[in-house]
A = this chain, B = another copy of it.
Amino acid sequence: GAGADNDLYINQAIVFIEDAIQYRSINHRVDSKSLWLYRWYYSRTCQWILSLTITVILALAFIEEPSSLTVTSDVRYRLPAWNPPCGLTESIELLCFLVFVIDVSVKSYLIGWKEFWKNKWLIAYILTLIVSLVDWIVSLSFFCKENVRIRRILRPFFLLQNSSMMKKTLKSINSTLPEMASVVLLLAVHLSLFTMFAMLLFARTKDNQQDKEWVVYFRNLPDSLTSLLVLLTTANNPDVMIPAYSKNRAYSIFFILFTVLGNLFLMNLLTAIIYNQFRGYLLKSVQSSLFRRRLGIRAAFEVLSSLKETPASAQQSCVSVGALLQVLQKVEMDSRCKQAIMRSLKMCSCDQLSAAQFQKLFEELDKDAVKQHPPSPEYQSHFMQKMQFAFGHPYFGYLGNVVALANIISICVVLVMDADKQLSERDDFFLGAINCFFILYYLLEMFLKILAMGLKRYLSYPSNRFDGLLTVILLILEIATFAVYGFPHPGWRPEFMGLLSLWDMVRLVNMLIVFRFLRIIPNMKFMALVVTTLLDLVKNLRAFAGILLVVFYAFAITGIMLFKGAVQTCFVFNFLIQTPFSIKKVVVLYFKGKKVISWCSAHFQAEVIYCFLYVLSVHLIYRWAKIYFVAWWLLSSVIWINLFVALLLENFIHKWDRRCQRESLSDIEYQRTVELMFRDVLEEPTEDELMEKLHQHPHLQLCR
């Protein structure tokens, strides 16, 4: 009947608006039952359970058999890691798989059979689940003693498929691959041509004294390739050319040419290419999000305009305010936005809304909450007003910064003076007294500020919250110290008492004071710019970090499987984490493997990198160890670092341009959303584009 139809339309409108809010695609089933399922699936609880499941299955690696996660990494002291009995992790895994099976079925059902076959991610999801389950069965039938566990390498896929941001980023990286491949090919050509040159140049001669270069670095093709590949990371930079150079200085031309072309030019070309490809990336992704939002709103408008109560005679389709109010009450959204929309709906005198008015109402969603600081209290007394003026003035804040700086400097001076003193000679009186004085000042500053601004206004500034919290913690620590050790006096150096020694307490207080000094950041324009860029970057980098995590996990599990028995899990993890930051050291040790062996067997303890490399060098006979190593270097050091630089350039240059434009605004605005950053360059989708997309909807049949 008409009532049931109306209910359906209302429900559809609710879901479409929620889709718009969450930037979701609207291409899903729209019958009543599916809509219920859809809202249930995207409810906070369900999504939370799904995220938890993904976290759990990924975290299993930390307690599964070859894990060695302990507090200390020193093998002499640490206890053997706890090995779960066979069946424990497997049953957790089975539970996770069940959740995933439900997830994939609901998802497939909701997008419909036809769309399912077009969606490669869903098919891959199902295949991954099947392979994992088969592997799980094999594992159990061997009583967990099997060697290869494919399902572990497949695990990060579950993380990947659950994030639309990561899928989008992956697509974007994918489109950069041809150019990256070109540069990598160029590098390979560069490397091979120079290898041939080197082999011809540094050939064996009759004089054994003269062909040192040949013996050490260019004995055969793999050696030569390796020498030059390592030279590309500059790890063996002066060493590799020294024997030839000492024969004739002119040989250095070969190495300089190779380094300049390969390292300075081709490697940086990769940065240029990746940056060039990602220049529009952020804008494009924000643009497509905007399109999804507008589409969802428009779809809601279209279904609401089909409601029976609407006068059919109207030439333009329109929506009654009543229906919209009904929908709004049921939509789950930010309460501030909802109130703002309700308010403007009530202010609007008309009874019917056109499509443009409807869109305009929901533009509230794009706006950031305008931070309104509560007003300062108004004092009657003249004295209090003067106080308020004095302590509400920015100069009072600057004075606080100067005092904090003085505190830092005093701590620094004491540290320098005490540096070489024995513990028994040390006297904590001076530092204790000074800190006591400074903390009193901080407390006073806080109270005066609260007096001037009122508590609410004081707390509405993040810098004040940071400040106040640290001051309170410092106060508590000071009181605890005095309670246990008494007031500072010369020779204030009592023995260990309570939870922490006095020295530890003082150190903790000092660390907090240094940390508190960071409050100066918003006062320095350039620093504030850098910090906001950093925060933006972290936000935009989440998807990249996720993909890195996926690749890292797969590599780590592969490494653990490859070097099984000989090496502990943590070694592999450490190795993978260290590579991008200390590639040279890793490379140097890797290729001096044989020397490391003896060193390792003597010092086998905390120096995880070296000992992992010892294992690697044992495995050097296998080609795949080398391939594994080079692949990880390419991915982590070369490609990921360049991606990071490209994103940083993109973010920073955009910010910088904006800063120059709005130099007039005196205080720095923290841009909370990427959408806002691009607002002035975004293009609104046209009505035709929206309607065309709506008519392509696989499940929604629009009347007109």
Residues of A within 8 A of B (CB): 70-74, 179, 182, 186, 193, 196-197, 199-201, 203-206, 219-221, 234-235, 237-239, 242-243, 245-250, 259, 263-266, 268-269, 271-273, 275-276, 279, 408, 411-412, 415-416, 419-420, 422-423, 503, 507, 510-511, 514, 517-518, 526-527, 530, 533-534, 537, 574, 578, 581-582, 584-585, 605-609, 641, 644-645, 648-649, 652-653, 656
Chain B residues contacting A272 (CB-CB under 8 Å) are 648-649, 652-653
Smallest distance from the beta carbon of A444 to chain B beta carbons, Å?
A: 24
Tell me which residues across on chain B come within 8 A of A199, comparing CB atoms: 415, 419
The interface residues of chain B lying within 8 Å CB-to-CB of A70 are 249
Q: Find out whether the CB atom of B72 lies under 8 angstroms from the CB atom of A249.
A: yes
A648/B73 contact (C-beta < 8 A), A237-B581, A238-B585, A514-B197 known: no
* A507 vs B276: C-alpha distance when bound (angstroms): 42
A73, B249: Cβ atoms closer than 8 Å? yes
In the complex the two chains form, is A72's CB within 8 Å of B182's CB? no
Q: Which residue of B lies closest to A610 (CB)?
A: B238
Known: A72-B248, A238-B609, A246-B606. 17 other contacts (CB 8 A): A193-B517, A199-B415, A199-B419, A203-B507, A206-B423, A220-B419, A237-B582, A238-B585, A242-B608, A246-B605, A259-B581, A263-B581, A265-B648, A269-B533, A272-B649, A275-B649, A279-B653
* Interface contact A204-B273, CB-CB below 8 Å: no
Tell me which residues across on chain B come within 8 A of A422, comparing CB atoms: 204
A200 with B73, Cβ < 8 A, contacts A268-B648, A653-B272, A653-B276 known: no
With A269-B648, A275-B649, A416-B220 known as contacts, the answer to whether A238 contacts B182 (CB < 8 A) is: no
Query: Shortest beta-carbon distance, A29 to chain B, in Å?
Result: 41
Q: Return A515 CB to nearest CB of chain B, in Å.
A: 8
Interface centre among A517, A581, A605, A656 (most CB of B within 10 A): A581
Return chain B residues, CB-CB under 8 Å to A179.
526
Known: A271-B649, A507-B200, A656-B276. Is A186-B72 also a contact (CB below 8 A)?
Answer: no
What are 19 inter-chain pairs, A to B, with CB distance below 8 A? A70-B249, A72-B248, A193-B517, A196-B510, A200-B511, A200-B514, A203-B503, A204-B422, A221-B412, A221-B415, A237-B581, A263-B581, A266-B530, A271-B648, A272-B648, A272-B649, A272-B652, A273-B652, A275-B653
- What residues of chain B lie closer than 8 Å to A193, measured between beta carbons? 514, 517-518
B605 contacts A200, CB within 8 Å?
Answer: no
Beta-carbon nearest neighbor of A575 in chain B: B238
How far apart sit A72 and B201, CA to CA, in the bound complex (Å)?
17
A72, A263, A420, A645: most-surrounded residue (chain B CB, <10 A): A645
Tell me, in angstroms, the Cα distance from A423 to B214 when the chains sit together.
13
The 10 nearest A-B residue pairs measured at CB:
A246-B606, A237-B582, A220-B419, A74-B246, A272-B652, A182-B526, A238-B609, A272-B649, A200-B507, A221-B416
Let me know if B652 and A245 touch, CB within 8 A. no
Q: Tell me whether B71 and A248 are in contact (CB under 8 A).
A: yes
Which residues of B have CB within 8 Å of A507? 200-201, 203
Q: A245-B606, A582-B237 are in contact. Are A412 and B269 (CB under 8 A)?
A: no
Instruction: Enumerate chain B residues within 8 angstroms of A71, measured Cβ to Cβ.
Output: 248-250
Task: Report B-chain residues with C-beta under 8 Å of the C-beta of A416.
Answer: 220-221
- Tell whether A246 pairs with B72 under 8 Å between CB atoms, given A201-B511, A581-B263, A648-B265: yes
Output the nearest chain B residue to A534 by Cβ-Cβ distance.
Answer: B265
Cα-based distance from A263 to B197 in the complex (angstroms) = 36
Interface pair A221/B419, CB less than 8 Å apart: yes
How distant is the Cα of A272 from the Cα of B645 in the complex, in angstroms? 8
Instruction: Give complex CA distance A113, B220 in Å.
Output: 69
Separation of A246 and B608 alpha carbons in the complex (Å): 9
Identify which of A203, A416, A420, A517 gathers the most chain B CB atoms within 10 Å of its CB. A203
The contact of A645 among B268, B511, B527, by CB within 8 Å, is B268
The answer to whether A415 touches B243 (Cβ under 8 A) is no
- For residue A607, which residues in chain B have a CB less than 8 angstroms away from its CB? 238, 242
Contact of A606 among B242, B585, B656 (CB under 8 A): B242
Most buried by B among A238, A271, A648: A238
Q: Is the CB of A585 within 8 A of B584?
A: yes
A313 to chain B, nearest CB (A): 53
CA distance A498 to B338 in the complex (A): 95
Selected contact of A196 from candidates B264, B415, B534, B584, CB within 8 Å:
B415
Per the bound structure, the CA–CA distance linking A83 and B430 in Å amounts to 62
Per the bound structure, the CA–CA distance linking A71 and B204 in Å amounts to: 21
Interface centre among A221, A263, A411 (most CB of B within 10 A): A221
Residue of A272, A276, A408, A641 most packed against chain B (CB within 10 A): A272
A410 to chain B, nearest CB (A): 12
Contact B220 A578 (CB under 8 A): no
Whether A582 lies near B649 (C-beta < 8 A) is no
- B581 and A584 contacting across the interface, CB-CB below 8 Å: no
Is the CB–CB distance between B578 and A237 below 8 Å?
yes
Contact B419 A245 (CB under 8 A): no
- A196, B412: Cβ atoms closer than 8 Å: yes
Expressed in whole angstroms, the Cα–Cα distance for A606 and B252 within the complex equals: 13
Which residues of chain B come closer than 8 Å to A73, judged between CB atoms? 245-246, 249
Task: Tell me, in angstroms, the Cα distance from A475 to B242 when the chains sit together.
Answer: 34
Contacts of A242 in B (CB 8 A): 606-608
